[in-house]
Structure 1
Amino acid sequence: MGRGLALVIRQKWPIVYSEYRKMFSAGELKLGSVQFVKVAPELYVCNLAGQDRWGTDSSKTDLGAYSLAWPIVSLEAEKLGLPVYAPWMFGCGLAGGDWSVVQPKIEALCPEVIWARRETGHTWEKSENYRGF
């Protein structure tokens, strides 16, 4: 959580990083695991273990881990009655994933995902499979 979006989240909500460290130190952070950290009354940030290593030499995005994690996100969001927002190009920046593969994979696993992207302002784009709650 020292670069990119993870660093921005760490700076805005330090509890997200401290909870991540607790999970890591306890040996509970496995590929495909998800940790939900409440940062506001109706806002959670998910620590999603979707890559095993760090670096920019090759893709670190693990689609098998996504297959485990994203359905958990979907079910928990439905249980809480909250929307799922994810950053546009999730897993394709520093993690090096291929967006043409990653986007449809996430949308199949979590149809209610709403992609957040920042250009001249904030724009939100719902998945083609968006079903709401």
Structure 2
Amino acid sequence: MKEIHYIKGDATVPQAKGTKIIVHVCNNIGGWGKGFVLAISKRWPEPEKSYREWHSNRAKNDFQLGAIQLIQVSAYIHIGNMIAQQGIKTRSNGVPIRYEAVKTCLEKIAIEAKKLDASIHMPRIGCGLAGGKWDRIEPIIKETLIEKDVDVFVYDFE
């Protein structure tokens, strides 16, 4: 069985051959402006533009926890916007990350990865501003991607 490849580097510069999907966690309130999304926007304007349009038209689409959006930004790179964060602040009901939504999103990403014959690349999703714990995220990645025989690369930025 495959395993997660841990790499020191920048997840916006995926280190693999072939088609790649860079995934990251987005919130469900239309906010884009802190964390890993800044690195994405610095390289490609399309993911932010698509996310903002998706949010603006949310009454007519699937913009909600557990939804994904795949945006092709170059011949071999797609960005996976994953709605898996409730709001942006830690409140009395806990941190913003929603583990069930992470699982739902990654299940959908696995299907897209198989269609595209793509590898998945990410920072330690959900563990920055979303407040998640890697020991809860990693098993979800194994269950949704690794067990589906998808190559996964997790980047620790230096």
Q: Shorter-chain TM-score category?
A: 0.7 to 0.9
Q: Does 1:110 align with 2:145?
A: yes
Cα distance in 2 for residues equivalent to 1:79 and 1:92: 28
Shift of 1:62: 0.5
TM-score, normalising length: structure 1: 0.82
State the structure with bigger RCO (CA 8 A, min sep 6), 1 or 2: 2
Partner residue in 2 for 1:77: 113
Q: Does 1:18 align with 2:54?
A: no
Q: Does 1:39 align with 2:70?
A: no
Shift of 1:107: 1.9
Instruction: Give yes or no for contact 1:50–1:66 (8 Å, CA) kept in 2.
Output: yes
TM-score, normalising length: structure 2: 0.70
Moved over 6 A (4+): none
Alignment RMSD, CA only? 1.3
Q: Does 1:91 align with 2:123?
A: no
Match for 2:99: what amino acid? L
Give unpaired runs (5+ residues) of structure 1.
120-133
Cα distance in 2 for residues equivalent to 1:44 and 1:32: 18
Partner residue in 2 for 1:2: 33
Match for 1:114: what amino acid? F
Cα distance in 1 for residues equivalent to 2:140 and 2:78: 22
Give unpaired runs (5+ residues) of structure 2.
1-31
Cα distance in 1 for residues equivalent to 2:136 and 2:118: 26
User: Matched residue of 2:84: which SS?
Assistant: coil
Partner residue in 1 for 2:20: none
Instruction: Give yes or no for contact 1:52–1:62 (8 Å, CA) kept in 2.
Output: yes
Instruction: Give yes or no for contact 1:51–1:60 (8 Å, CA) kept in 2.
Output: yes
